[in-house]
Chain A
Amino acid sequence: MKTEAYRGQKKKKSFFWHMKKNWQLYVLLAPTIIYLLLFNYLPIVGVQIAFRDYTAIGGIWNSKWVGLKHFAKFFSSIQFGTLLGNTIKISVYSLLWGFPMPIILAIMLNECGSARLKKGVQMLTYAPHFISTVVLVSMLNLFLDVDTGIINKIIELFGGTASNLIGNEKAFRTIYIASGIWQGCGWSSIIYIAALAGVDSQLYEAAKIDGANRLQKVWYIDLPSILPTILTLFILDCGNILNVGYEKVYLMQNTLNQSVSEVISTYVYKLGLLGGQFSYTTAIGLFNSVVNIIVLAMVNQISKKVNEVSLF
């Protein structure tokens, strides 16, 4: 009895006792706590202007409440369908084409017999990741130029006719996705290569004894081994389904391809920051985030049921 009472006492150490013991760790943690508070949590509180009519005088706290007015306006606006459609198309197609590529590359690299070749190719495929979006889009403009671009020269070489691909709305998504794969495939493959390196080598030996060929090894050992990694990353990507990176889309936009390249985030930037419609665009942004979170939760739930892999 006595010891229990003592234990109970020991558990309830005061807040100050902990602070005194841990103060140095809290000093280390402080910049992060303060930064996230100011630049992340405070803006989250600021999202309330989606339900107000923001004015410079009223600010975040004292502008007039208007309820769901801005949401209603967005849902009934003519841009709503186009924006949502463009955003979903760009992101779903990017996912469909872009997601399997790093997995295939990683498996190929893993199966490559020569360590030297593997290292060299890894080194080369990482390189495009380090190029800035501005430079990438400039390269696209130079390569796809109607008169002088190398891509058009190649098209002509094969008997096609050169065209203004940068201004072609039909080519926009293809260019966006293909350049994205060029830039990101190698870098994204690292995580799979790391996962493949962790596969138990006994499995391979057992398969060898059982007479499995190389393709069967990939199919029955490699893929199942990295499946949890694949699913985790897939869930994460699905949670960004409406987060089309606006940096690149914005830079690739021109008057000719606007009908397919205007996405939610670029619209928010233009109408909000450049056009000053703070409350309306915050509402659009909030809609965007809510959809993302719902999709994330749904895919997570499905994955949990089917494969027992989940984020939370």
Chain B
Amino acid sequence: MKMKQTAGDRIFNIVVNVVIILAGIVALYPLLFVLSASISDPNAVNRGELWLLPIGLRWDGYVEVFKNSWILKGYANSLYYTIIGTLLNVVCTVAAGYALSRKDLYGRKVWNWYIAIPMWINGGLIPTYLVVNSMKLVNTPVVLLIMGLVSSYNIIICRTYMSSLPYELQEAAKIDGCSDFQILLRIVLPVSAPIIAVLSLYYAVGHWNNYFTAMIYVNNKDWQPLQVFLREFLLLNQTVDVDSGMELEDMIRQTELARSMKYSLIVIASVPMLIAYPFVQKFFIKGVMVGSVKG
């Protein structure tokens, strides 16, 4: 199918390729830099000698991160919130999405509105906080699992996907005496892998990266997710314990360590999501496309 290209088209081609290669580099470079810096000699990084490849392999930063019991605790908490939370999210979203995809659902129109309205209107921070507080959920780990249990947008994506499935099969199953639960489990779910993968990814990223919910609703350090500890270490600089009796040399070493620890911490905190996403990547376009279809 290749046709002869004009000079203009050839230039166009070159420009396109150069720009998208640049886009790829710009996206990747900061991530690679952090990775390199995390295993480099902190002095070299501070002097600005590091450009891309690590200088003088050092693992101190990682060792230090794994020695910190709060970070390990936060990591475990975040894994818990992400796994259990995402499970709850996906189950509720798929259930609601399926129910709404059924044209014979009584009051379908009303419920569609009921679910769409929260996308535009909500009570805002303070009233929501007061309501959550009145339900005695503040400062419990439950709030971190429950907040954002379903997102209207995700329910709509799921509903759209499921309404696009052939309905005849479901009708036939119904005539054969299948209950609605059975239809969902045996007929709809087996062909819904793409949407479930996309929803899981959306929700999991949300849980793993969320710090605001924890900051607002949870004070107890034992229940804090990783992101809250990250904020303390990375942004509020609570890594360096400078004792008054400390030698100057030790203090300098501590500060250096704190810096390389920051890079290691960033790597460790970001790895789970960055590893997960290539596996789900093939479903992205499909999932987003479904979401973009109106109705």
Contact = CB atoms under 8 A, between A and B. Distances in A.
A6 interface: no
A60 B273 CA distance: 40
Interface stretch (A25-33, A81-89, A168-176, A255-263): A25-33
Interface in A122-145: 123-135, 137-139, 141-143
Contacts of A148: 45-48, 259
23 contacts: A18-B106, A18-B107, A28-B98, A28-B99, A29-B105, A39-B128, A39-B149, A42-B123, A43-B122, A43-B131, A111-B12, A112-B17, A114-B17, A127-B31, A131-B274, A132-B211, A133-B209, A134-B227, A269-B216, A272-B129, A273-B125, A273-B126, A285-B127
Contacts of A207: none
Given A60-B130, A127-B27, A285-B126, A25 B99 contact: yes
Interface residues of B, number: 97
Interface in B118-171: 118, 120-132, 134-135, 146-147, 149-150, 152, 155
A24 B150 CA distance: 19
Interface residues of A, number: 97
Interface of B: 3, 6, 8-9, 12-13, 16-17, 19-21, 23-24, 26-28, 30-31, 33-34, 37, 45-48, 50, 92-93, 95-96, 98-100, 102, 104-107, 111, 114-115, 118, 120-132, 134-135, 146-147, 149-150, 152, 155, 179-181, 184, 205, 208-212, 216, 227, 230-231, 234-235, 259, 262-263, 266, 269-270, 273-274, 277-278, 281, 284-285, 288-289, 291-292, 294
A135 B3 contact: no
B11 to A, nearest CB: 9
B274 to A, nearest CB: 6
A184 B149 CA distance: 24
A142 B21 contact: no
Contact of B12 (A114, A137, A213, A269): A213
A120 interface: yes
Interface stretch (A71-79, A90-98, A190-198): A190-198
A29 B99 CA distance: 6
Task: Identify the interface centre among B8, B149, B281: most chain A CB within 10 Å of its CB.
Answer: B149
Contact of B106 (A21, A35, A293): A21
A210 to B, nearest CB: 13
A49 B126 CA distance: 10
Contact of A38 (B125, B131, B273): B131
A292 to B, nearest CB: 8
B148 to A, nearest CB: 8
A278 interface: yes
Nearest to A29: B99
A138 B127 contact: no
A75 B78 CA distance: 41
A234 interface: no
Contacts of B205: 129-130
B102 A25 contact: yes
A89 to B, nearest CB: 22
Interface in A277-302: 278, 281-282, 285-286, 288-289, 293, 296
* 8 shortest interchain CB distances as A-B pairs: A43-B123, A46-B127, A132-B209, A285-B124, A24-B180, A138-B234, A153-B48, A18-B106
Nearest to A101: B23
